[in-house]
Structure 1
Amino acid sequence: MTFEGFPVAALDFYDDLEVDNTKSFWEAYKAVYDKSVKAPMVALTDALAQEFGDAKVFRPYRDVRFAKDKTPYKTHQGAFVAVGQASGWYVEVSAPGVRVGGGIYEAGGPRLAAMREAMADEKTGKVLQRILRDLERGGFEIAGERLKTVPRGYDKEHPRIELLKMKTVLGMRSYGFEPFVHTAELLDRVREDWRRLRPLVSWIAEATAI
């Protein structure tokens, strides 16, 4: 299947799912999901695979075993190309439209310690600062989980203390529902933004390779 964009029906599907997140709605409109959401997402990630690698297209079902919110279905469809554990490139379609990103969404224990060590290092820390600054100048939002306090073992006067407080690091861009998300042009937009995110993804992969 050639990627031709996400149809308006994909965004409408998630608009309706947010209102009626039930099994009966899902079963009634699963054909819309398959045709307008899943199939285009697979086509998009297949078209990107040669350059970036194979993507995992996430299941639409929520894990509600330990959640207070028992609604059964995710209100977005995401796909992820892994470079390392919990790090790589991301693309998502939902009611608000399409967004892309890259970075690391979970780091714990030794991997978090290794990432912080690279952030604290004069050379590699400054490289990351420059990468994030360039992404922000290019219109990306720098997001991620952040500590409110100084991480243990680091001086609060460290020149990169705000960076060291970050437990995850993500560069994100939202396309919303701009007209091009419904066309084949979206493929070029995602490809170009993933390329722009490559320095961040590569930095994280190297820093957390333990």
Structure 2
Amino acid sequence: MHFNKSSFQYLKDLKKNNNRDWFADTKPVFKEAQDNAKELYASIRESLEQHDEIDKFKLFRIYRDVRFSKDKTPYQPHFAGSFSRLGKELRGGYYLRIRPGESFLAGGFWEPNKEDLFRIRKEIELDASEFRKILKAENYIKYFGGKFEGHELKSAPRGFDKEHSDIDLLRKKGFIAVRNFTDKEVLSPNFLSEIDKSYKALRPFFNFFSDVLTTNLNGESIID
């Protein structure tokens, strides 16, 4: 299974002709590209379920909400989808966006709620060695550059020491692993394999964060 050149070309054309008339005139082409995307994401899920438990998949709509945006173009010139892991014990999620010149996959914790974020920070404050181990893992460095992406505070979060040795981690408001793809890589026969290998490299990250978010600081389960 692969993403077709014709589907990729459609996204390029949509970016250049991002208006309702052009979209309506090329609706059959859109449907073909969308079906191709659905098939690709279905294959990704099938691969994921060989080594993880997936609860649900969401393919994001191509229609933009322009009500509060300065950009009034009506369509997203990309396909994007996310996979949620199964159950309270398995935290984290997978994401993939296909957009000419700006394709990437990601996984992790984009905007954790305040309780989860506080729990993660308390773990970092107590002992960040497991966080550092994740970042130094060979496959994590290979696919994700050995770092967490995500927004961060300019200073220490309230109640935490700004001189803490792991202040770089404490300041983060999210913990995301990101791998970018060139257009050539997206259209390669190996694209699906590269996605799956990247997602597999996230498992130590997900397993550790799942453990943190389902226990208290004493290591006791908080799952009902």
- TM-score relative to the length of structure 1: 0.84
Q: Is residue 2:57 matched to residue 1:55?
A: yes
Out of 162, 187, 190, which is 2:192 matched to? Answer: 187
Give, as a single letter, the amino acid of the residue that structure 1 aligns with 2:180: S
Instruction: Decide whether the 8 Å contact of 1:103 with 1:169 is kept in 2.
Output: yes
**For residue 204 of structure 2, what is the amino acid of its counterpart?**
P
Counterpart check, 1:108 vs 2:113: yes
Asked which structure has the greater RCO (Cα within 8 Å, sep 6+), the reply is 1
Other-structure match for 1:206: 211
Residue in structure 2 matched with residue 158 of structure 1 by the alignment? 164
Q: How does 1:96-135 map to 2 (within 5 A)?
A: 96=101, 98-122=103-127, 125-134=128-137
Q: CA deviation at 1:183?
A: 4.6
Alignment: residue pair count: 204
1:99 touches 1:172 (CA, 8 Å); kept in 2?
A: yes
Q: Which has the larger share of helix?
A: 1
Measured in 1, the distance between the counterparts of 2:5 and 2:123 equals 43
Q: Give runs of aligned pairs for residues 1-210 of structure 1, distance below 5 A.
A: 4-37=1-34, 38-51=37-50, 52=52, 53=54, 54-83=56-85, 87-96=92-101, 98-122=103-127, 125-134=128-137, 137-141=141-145, 142-179=148-185, 181-209=186-214
Which amino acid in structure 1 is aligned with residue 181 of structure 2?
Answer: Y
Structure 2 CA distance for partners of 1:202 and 1:59, relative to 1, 3 Å: farther
After TM superposition, give the deviation of residue 86 of structure 1 in Å.
8.7
Q: Which has the larger radius of gyration?
A: 2
Give distance in 1, aligned partners of 2:60 and 2:187.
Answer: 21
User: Where do 4+ consecutive residues of structure 1 move more than 4 Å?
Assistant: none
Aligned-partner Cα distance in 2 for 1:206–1:65: 40
Segments of structure 2 that go 5 or more residues without pairing to the other structure are 215-221
Unaligned runs of 5+ in 1: none
Provide the TM-score with structure 2 as the length reference: 0.79
CA distance in 2, matches of 1:204, 1:171: 13
Deviation at 1:127, TM superposition (A): 0.7
